[in-house]
């Protein structure tokens, strides 16, 4: 079994947040990387991924390459398994495909729909933000929620939910505070890279109000009662209200915690496939997790390895009661033991969830912890 640190550059913010694991050697003082537009497609001719029906017309699909401005060495793995991967100035860090559209106010945005990260492997690790799971989720929201419904979600989903469903989201972009607080180890590149990210994301996704994004983070990290108080303070409870949660929130927990001032710890293992069949892998992997006392977890399945997300300090009541962990597909999740939100939609592999707020309350759900362990596909 090989456990390693997966460095994901799929979202614009992520490289900045993982630079603690990077050593920079070059003398330049600009941003560590740049996005370069390399191609534009007519959406009718774009076949890499299926773009679902949109509320606003898509003008172009645009391909950007993320290129390094300096040489970096990335640490992979831990302890005796630690290896180094050197990336040269000009090397390709990743590829982003964004869709350009104009909303009803004439504002132009380019939300991310597909990305490939080359920082860890030459073959690349892809992330599809319009996967079949998300398409089913968008269709559910569009067809089964009120037109004046408000959707609470973490910021990367906001613009796509607006584009594919026409529903309003509480936040639909990162905040300046989120970007300014991201960790960049090397002082020489820190401020320039943060400024570059701020400009890039303002142009492509738009920026959210600092306090509004912080309140979403606080809702997610709080027990249900406190989360409802925050919603009441923002006068959110007088209209149809839904929460969208995704397994994509697992790697975002550090950022969510930082804005919320919370302490919700989710750990992860990267484990290579080690048996001849998936069924044998799951038996061995379940036994391995049990030996480590891990009861609340979610397994994502990739071509060559598994990502296991698990709840750290799983016996700490304050951890278990965090609203986001009640929403996600962990042993403490699936909408268990909450009184005002009920599951309205779940994608087949539990990657995307939609919860409906019920003002009068709902019967508290409790499910068998064994049945709460989900094996999530990755499409």
Residue 159 has pLDDT above 80, yes or no: yes
Q: Beginning with the edge strand found earlier in the chain, give each strand of the sheet holding 168-169 in spatial order.
A: 168-169, 150-152, 241-246, 352-357, 341-346
For residue 330, pLDDT beyond 90: no
Angstrom distance (rounded) from CA 306 to CA 292 = 17
Report residue 44's pLDDT band, with 50, 70 and 90 as the boundaries: very high
57 within some domain: yes
Residue 72 domain flag = yes
- Report the DSSP pairing between strands 150-152 and 168-169: parallel
Within-domain flag for 76: yes
Whether residue 2 has pLDDT greater than 50 = no
- Mean pLDDT, range 247-267, rounded to an integer: 89
What's the confidence (pLDDT) of residue 249? 93
Check residue 102 and report its DSSP letter: E
Nearest to 322 by CA among 220, 190, 242, 225: 220
What is the sign, positive or negative, of the torsion defined by CA atoms of 225, 229, 230, 236? positive
| Cα 145 from Cα 263, distance rounded (Å) | 32
Q: With bands split at pLDDT 50, 70 and 90, how would you rate the model's confidence at 366? A: low
- The listed range with the strongest mean pLDDT (111-125, 168-182, 187-201, 288-302) is 168-182
Q: pLDDT by residue (tens digit) across 69-106?
A: 888 777 766 556 677 878 889 999 999 999 999 999 99
The answer to whether residue 366 is domain-embedded is no
- The pLDDT of 349-373, averaged and rounded, is 72
Structural domain including 122 reads 11-126
Range with the poorest average pLDDT among 22-26, 49-53, 68-72, 288-292? 22-26
What per-residue confidence (pLDDT) applies to 10? 34
The tokens for 273 are 């496939």
Average of per-residue pLDDT across 160-173: 96
pLDDT recorded at residue 332: 65
Distances (CA, A) of 87 to 11, 58, 92, 244, 277: 19, 35, 8, 36, 34
Percent of the chain with pLDDT over 90: 50
CB-CB neighbours of 352 under 10 Å: 26
Nearest to 356 by CA among 212, 55, 152: 152
119 is a domain residue: yes
Structural domain count of the chain: 1
Phi-psi sector, 146: left (phi>0), alpha (psi -120 to 50), beta: beta
Contact 86, 119 (CB under 8 A): no
pLDDT at residue 115, as a whole number: 95
CA distances for 340 relative to 125, 219, 364, angstroms: 38, 14, 9
Would 105 be classed as within a structural domain? Answer: yes
The pLDDT of 329-339, averaged and rounded, is: 76
Confidence of residue 39 (pLDDT cuts 50, 70, 90): very high
pLDDT of residue 369: 44
Give the pLDDT band (50/70/90) at residue 314.
Answer: low
- Per-residue model confidence (pLDDT) at position 160: 97
Which residues, 6+ apart, have CB-to-CB distance to 163 below 8 Å? Answer: 54, 55, 56, 99, 101, 111
Instruction: Tell me, yes or no, whether 64 lies in a domain.
Output: yes
Report whether pLDDT(377) > 60. Answer: no
- More confident of the two residues 339 and 96: 96
Phi (first) and psi of residue 156, to 5 degrees: -60, -20
DSSP labels, 295-338: -SEEEEE-SSEEEEEEETTTT-HHHHT-HHHHHSSSTT-TTTT-
On whether residue 94 sits in a domain, the answer given is: yes
Q: What is the pLDDT of residue 14?
A: 36
pLDDT at 294: 86
Q: Could you tell me the pTM of the whole model?
A: 0.84
Beta bridge partners of 114: 97, 128
Q: Reply yes or no on whether the pLDDT at 379 is more than 70.
A: no
Q: How far apart are CA 46 and CA 65, in angstroms?
A: 17
Query: pLDDT digit string (tens) for 220-238?
Result: 999 999 999 999 999 998 8
C-alpha closest to that of 142 among 235, 54, 201, 210: 54
pLDDT of residue 84: 81
Element (H, E) at 283: helix 278-291
Which percentage of the chain shows pLDDT scores above 70? 83
């Amino acid at each position: 079994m090989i456990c390693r640190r997966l460095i994901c550059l799929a979202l614009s913010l992520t490289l900045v947040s993982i630079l603690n694991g990077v050593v920079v050697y070059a003398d330049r003082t600009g941003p560590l990387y740049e996005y370069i537009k390399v191609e534009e497609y007519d959406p009718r001719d774009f076949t890499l991924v299926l773009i679902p029906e949109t509320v606003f017309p898509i003008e172009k699909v645009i391909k950007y390459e993320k290129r390094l401005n300096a040489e970096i060495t990335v640490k992979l793995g831990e302890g005796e398994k630690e290896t180094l991967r050197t990336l040269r100035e000009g090397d390709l860090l990743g590829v982003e495909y964004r869709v350009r559209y104009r909303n009803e106010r004439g504002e132009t945005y380019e939300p991310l729909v597909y990305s490939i990260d080359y920082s860890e492997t030459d073959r690349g690790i892809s992330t599809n933000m319009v996967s079949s799971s998300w398409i089913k989720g968008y269709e559910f929201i569009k067809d089964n929620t009120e037109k004046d419904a408000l959707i609470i979600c973490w910021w990367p989903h906001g613009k796509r939910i607006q584009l594919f469903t026409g529903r309003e989201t509480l936040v639909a972009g990162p905040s300046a505070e989120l970007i300014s607080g991201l960790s960049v180890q090397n002082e020489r590149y820190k401020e320039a890279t943060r400024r570059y990210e701020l400009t890039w994301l303002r142009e492509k996704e738009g920026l959210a109000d600092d306090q509004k994004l912080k309140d979403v983070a606080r809702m997610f990290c709080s027990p249900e009662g406190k989360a409802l108080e925050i919603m009441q303070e923002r006068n959110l409870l007088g209209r149809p209200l839904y929460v969208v949660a995704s397994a994509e929130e697992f790697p975002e927990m550090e950022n969510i915690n930082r804005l919320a001032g919370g302490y919700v710890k989710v750990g992860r293992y990267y484990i290579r496939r080690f048996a001849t069949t998936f069924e044998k892998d799951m038996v061995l992997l379940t036994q391995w997790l049990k030996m480590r006392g891990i009861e609340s977890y979610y397994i994502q399945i990739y071509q060559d390895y598994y990502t296991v997300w698990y709840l750290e300090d799983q016996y700490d009541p304050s951890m278990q009661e965090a609203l986001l962990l009640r929403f996600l597909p962990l042993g403490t999740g699936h909408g268990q033991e909450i009184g005002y939100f009920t599951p309205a939609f779940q994608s087949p592999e539990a990657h995307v969830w939609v919860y409906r707020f019920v003002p009068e309350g709902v019967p508290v759900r409790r499910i068998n912890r064994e049945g709460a362990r989900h094996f999530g596909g990755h499409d």
